[in-house]
Structure 1
Amino acid sequence: MKDVLVIGAGGVSSVAVHKMAKNPELFGKITLASRRQFKCDAIAESVKQRFGVTIDTAQVDADDVAATSKLIEQVKPNLLVNLALPYQDLNLMDACLNTGTDYLDTANYEPRDEARFHYGWQWDYQDRFKNAGLMALLGSGFDPGVTSVFAMYIKKHLLDTIRTLDILDCNGGDHGQHFATNFNPEINIREITAPARHWENGEWVETPALSTRQVFEFDQVGAKNMYLMYHEELESLAKFIPEMERARFWMTFGEQYLTHLRVLQNVGMTSIEPIMFEGREIVPLQFLKAVLPEPSTLGTTTKGKTNIGDIATGMKDGEEKTFYVYNVCDHEDAFEETGNQAVSYTTGVPAMIGAALMLNGTWRGEGVFNMEQFDPDPFMDMLNQHGLPWQVHELDGPLKF
């Protein structure tokens, strides 16, 4: 039995820890740590009430490498699961190297002072982890994470080669708020307001944020407006499926959400440039985050479903075919099981699965790895077993846009 240290106490962390505790055959001792220990204690109490499992909690500042290293040495986990903020990825990787501990996260590194994320910073740790005999698994969430595994499943079982790939992320849920984000508001808004990029004919094509819209009919959700965006799995998919001619990422947004977002942008509230206010320096977007609803509180009111998946076109036995692999997750079902809405659930469950596959030796290696580098089948099997069942449909042809 292997022990884990989970860093972070938001909705995703809550889901992951609940699912770990629900599966004691996969996980030994679970320790949950965050800068605000009272949030860890609340999650621990929920786990105790739901599943009768006791987890340990601790306080740590994930920005402090020395403090995190000290905690790791005290807890002695087999794996550190980073469910904190992307800003803290490199510090937590450093702490793992200091202590000889394997590492997993769900989102790639992003500096605080620049709205830019890419895998290069973490890929640069390859030799350090390899030389230390350690493993780091990057992006074990849904997107990135499951979407990458879906693509590799398609390539292994359904297509000989993938020519085009479209990732479609639809949240059809309604939380009843005028404006709220379903995961960390600061990260969410930085991501949405960044220029869109997609991979085409061996290069990145950039377009203005939210400037390309299409309508798509999502199973169990209905027709939704979806917008072309840049998302980190495009970078790793372009690397590990080199024959792809085009890869795109789409996300749905309602008009009310976009209207509020435009107003906030116009008045400067989405800026990450510090300003002076009453004699102290503040970052407008961080202030906005403080006044918006906490994503982990949205589960009580959110109704509806998410639908996230991959549409891939390519060749199979000399014939062009198109397949759609996707998952539908119900917000209310997710809340009933873990006390969290489906956006947190669809990220927290894959984090648990990735951790389980590392701990039981199914996915192993020395160095820094993306999801695409491992056999998709064990992960796909566990999705069906642990609350995120998927389905495959062959489509009449490729997307027309």
Structure 2
Amino acid sequence: MRVLLVGAGGVGTAITRIAARRSFFDHMVVADYDLSRAEAAVAALVERDPAESRFSAARIDASDQAAVTALLNAHHCDVLMNATDPRFVLPLFEAALAGEAHYVDMAMSLSQPHPERPYELTGVKLGDGQFERADAWEKAGRLALVGMGVEPGLSDVFARYAADELFDEIEEIGIRDGANLTVDGYDFAPSFSIWTTIEECLNPPVVYESDRGWYTTPPFSEPEVFDFPEGIGPVECVNVEHEEVLLVPRWVDTKRVTFKYGLGDDFIDKLKTLHALGLDRTAPLTVPSDRGPVQVSPRDVVAAALPDPAGLGDRMHGKTCAGTWVKGLRDGSPREVYLYHVVDNQWSMREYGSQAVVWQTAINPVVALELLASGAWSGAGVLGPEAFAPKPFLDLLIAYGSPWGQREQ
């Protein structure tokens, strides 16, 4: 397998560090708009192992579909691994199809709220732009594996595993994400891309119910306290827009699906303030300068003002937990289970030099790539993680040295 990895930020760099310890691929081209970032990711691998020759660096503009296709073809890549933010999903998705390559991403094409009733009805849903192209991918005999990070990704694998192995009938599936991470020296330092965090937290959250379909609610709705394992403890979680709610019901029979994220009052207040000031907007504003007017996206300014999450690992302490809570029936009796994956930042920094949140996101697409390379997972069209057998994935995750857990509720 030959891989084009687009994006050499925190998650992309963590992907290279995890993949370098595996033998399933022949070559990985690490491409980024900032060539120095791609070169640094490759150089770090060679420094660790001077015999490592399976990685090379390239510069690419992820929005330039034709250039990405040309890069795929020039390096004879079998798969495009998208490690950029969701703005670049569609051009990379289409570039992979044009280049006759498979495609894997960790976040899906962006949504657009309903123009009149945003907190009741869905508009353009997450992933709609990709699913409407499913026939083209199927006819081409190529696979677009979408939403294959940790959330979405591993959380969806857990949902399918619960349906296959643990329940006869499922009433509700709820993705629950929480952490007790702190960052020395910062009052506000998100552990993941603030651009993506703003997008998913301030958009209308989507909920699925089998008798109603997909609908939306106001941001931060339906608060609940969820007790997370391995010492993290109780965290208040609220509804957030996320891909699992759009993916899980396509392949898993359930009456309800939600996604709730443990944000905390302070984080929510800051997000609300950004929204009130219009600093969450992506449309450029005209800003005067000494060199004349310039166009600036307010959200990009916020992202530039905050520390790079990938560089916070040395200051970060605690654990992060991603998991899937499932409620239903087994042998006629009620059952509730929480399937989860916890990463300790001290461990991920010591073992890989990557902070916990980006490392936890990165390991799952690498596992998926290995399953595709071996043929354990295969298919054509636009498919989510739920479309595949979960046990090979969960077994390989353990083989990577990153076990998952199961707790009866």
TM-score (norm 1): 0.93
Amino acid at match of 1:191: E
Aligned equivalents of 2:12 and 2:402: distance in 1?
17
More displaced stretch, 229-238 vs 136-145: 229-238
1:210 to 208, 220, 228: 220
Cα distance in 2, alignment partners of residues 135 and 258 from structure 1: 37
Matching residue of 2:67: 67
Distance 1:113 1:9 in 2: 30
Choose from 325, 328, 336 the match for 2:339.
325
- 1:231–1:112 CA distance, 2 compared to 1 (3 A): closer
Q: 1:63 to 1:135 in 2, by over 3 A?
A: same
1:136–1:214 distance in 2 versus 1, CA, 3 Å:
same
Of residues 184, 199, 205, the one that matches 1:196 is 205
- 1:172 corresponds to: 180
Structure 1, unmatched stretches of 5+, are 396-401
In 1: Cα distance, 2:279 partner to 2:217 partner: 23
SS across alignment from 2:136: helix
Higher mean C-alpha deviation, range 220-229 or range 303-312: 220-229
RMSD: 1.9
Cα distance between partner residues in 1 of 2:92 and 2:216: 31
Residue 239 of structure 1 aligns with an amino acid whose one-letter code is R
1:272 counterpart SS class:
coil
Give the corresponding residue for 1:43: 41
In 1, distance between residues paired with 2:401 and 2:356? 11
Report if the CA contact (8 A) 1:164-1:312 is conserved: yes
Structure 1 SS opposite 2:30: strand
SS in 1 for 2:164: helix
Amino acid at match of 1:95: A
Cα deviation digits, residues 146-190 of structure 1 (max 9, x gap):
000001111111101211111110122112322222222111111
1:231 aligns with 2:245: no
Distance across 2 between alignment mates of 1:117 and 1:199? 12
Distance in 2 (CA, whole Å) between partners of 1:378 and 1:127 is: 27
Deviation at 1:49, TM superposition (A): 2.5
Match of 1:160 in 2: 168
How far did 1:319 drift?
1.9
Structure 2 gap ranges (5+):
115-122
Matched, 1:150 2:148: no
The offset of 1:93, in angstroms, is 2.0
Q: Structure 2 CA distance, aligned partners of 1:250 and 1:237?
A: 15
Structure 2 SS opposite 1:46: helix
Q: CA deviation at 1:347?
A: 0.9
Return closer, same or farther for 1:183/1:235 CA change in 2, 3 Å cut-off: same
Contact 2:206 2:245 in 1 (8 A): no
Match of 2:262 in 1: 252
2:118 aligns with none
Mean CA deviation greater in 257-266 or 328-337: 257-266
Measured in 1, the distance between the counterparts of 2:332 and 2:111 equals 45
Query: Which residue number corresponds to residue 398 of structure 1?
Result: none
Contact 2:111 2:127 in 1 (8 A): no
Q: Work out the CA distance in 1 between the residues paired with 2:113 and 2:334.
A: 45
Number of positions where the alignment pairs a residue of Structure 1 with one of Structure 2: 392
Conserved 8 A contact 2:173-2:257: yes
The separation in 1 between residues aligned to 2:148 and 2:30, in whole angstroms, is 18
The DSSP-based 3-state class of the residue aligned with 1:100 is coil
2:192 aligned counterpart, secondary structure? coil
Normalising by structure 2, what TM-score? Answer: 0.91
Question: Which aligned runs of 4 or more in structure 1 are off by greater than 4 angstroms?
Answer: 111-117
- Counterpart residue type for residue 107 of structure 1: A
Native 8 Å contact 2:31 2:59 kept in 1? yes
Give the aligned partner of residue 405 of structure 2. 391
Does the 8 Å CA contact 1:78/1:359 hold for their aligned counterparts?
no
Residue identity over aligned pairs, in percent, reads 29
Deviation at residue 111 of structure 1 after TM alignment: 6.7
